[in-house]
Amino acid sequence: MKAFYIKKYSKKDKLQLSEVANPVAKENEVLVQIHAAAVNVLDLMIKKGEFKLLLPYKTPIINGHDMAGTVVKVGSAVSNFNVGDEVYSRVGDYRIGTFAEYISVNEKDLALKPKNLTMEEAASIPLVGLTSWQALVEMGNVKRGQKVFIQAGSGGVGTFAIQLAKHLGAFVATTTSATNIDLVKSLGADLIIDYKKEDFETKLKDYDFVLHSNKDPKILEKSLRILKSGGQLISLVGPPTPEFAEEIGLPWYLKLVTKLISSGAKKKAKKRNTKYKFLFMRAEGSQLEEITALIELGAIKPVIDKVFPFEKTNDAMTYIESGRTKGKVIVKVK
């Protein structure tokens, strides 16, 4: 099969296209012919080696985390999927490789594709959908009537998280540029802040929840200050916490590192009687099934910026790096 792989960690090198052996499905795995794959900022960060301490992949490795496709073979212990099923997944860590024609996926990480979506639309959902679900529902326990601030509302996670927060009954504030105001308004945002002209700290007060996705330390501090007592901030960009290190089983010295680098944020949060948490989303087929139900009900719709042909995967990566995307960027494999 054809696949795009990371030859070595590099900020400059592009992914390499090559013929590689087809994957084999183990007893608890499903072999999927990939029709479409999403390109995420995470794929870019993995390529550059920004997660090599937390996720020490051994290169060369096929890149890509999101996909939609058709089941072509099932392992002997698989009970929930059959050949011919249309499925989608954010595949598990250490099992990535969706920039390819085929992939073998643990059945626990897989779900049936929403019936009302195309393959390209379905591929856009898993990573951002699970990130939003685990932040807002699992960790945040967002409830009707609460005030939620979602940063970067026109981005991949933002476009999904706004819709999920509205479905949960929250009042949603977000930041975006002037050109994307209509987009985030159409997704349900109640209060929209043009980050190029306005300071969100002067507009927002006593919020219950912040979904934080900006690496600037000043933005993190401002975000903590807009929370009310008892509120919580969940960060997708860090710094990572000891709780996260414990959860994924990092060695003791990395647990110590996370304690040191997150201490400032945690102290600032504690001082204001708020909470700072870090989320690195995980693959979870059962949660994806719940997301499927919401999509089929029409509560959430995909937002796609561009679709690239498979051979232009590196162009899609470059486009993601530009930081100008609205919603998701997709690679059409089949």
pLDDT recorded at residue 56: 87
Q: Count Cβ atoms within 10 A of the Cβ of residue 199 and give its class: 0-12 exposed, 13-18 middle, 19 or more buried.
A: exposed
Under 8 Å between Cβ of 62 and 100: yes
**CA–CA gap between residue 174 and residue 193 (Å, rounded):** 6
Nearest to 95 by CA among 141, 62, 128, 135: 62
Of 211-225, 242-256, 289-303, the range with the lowest mean pLDDT is 242-256
Under 8 Å between Cβ of 268 and 233: no
Residue 158 contacts by C-beta under 8 Å, 6 or more apart in sequence? 150, 151, 152, 174, 176, 184, 213
Q: Which helix (H) or strand (E) holds 129?
A: helix 126-133
pLDDT recorded at residue 196: 93
The CATH code that applies to domain 128-278 is 3.40.50.720
* 131-146 pLDDT tens trace: 999 999 999 999 999 9
Residue 285 has pLDDT above 90, yes or no: yes
**CA–CA gap between residue 222 and residue 205 (Å, rounded):** 11
pTM flag (> 0.95): yes
Q: How large is the average pLDDT for residues 314-322?
A: 96
Tokens for 314?
Answer: 């590196």
User: What residues does each domain of the chain span?
Assistant: 2-125+302-332, 128-278
**CA–CA gap between residue 96 and residue 91 (Å, rounded):** 6
pLDDT recorded at residue 174: 98
Q: Count Cβ atoms within 10 A of the Cβ of residue 179 and give its class: 0-12 exposed, 13-18 middle, 19 or more buried.
A: exposed
Instruction: Name which CATH class applies to 2-125+302-332.
Output: alpha beta
* 76-128 pLDDT tens trace: 999 999 999 999 999 999 999 999 999 999 999 999 999 999 999 999 999 99
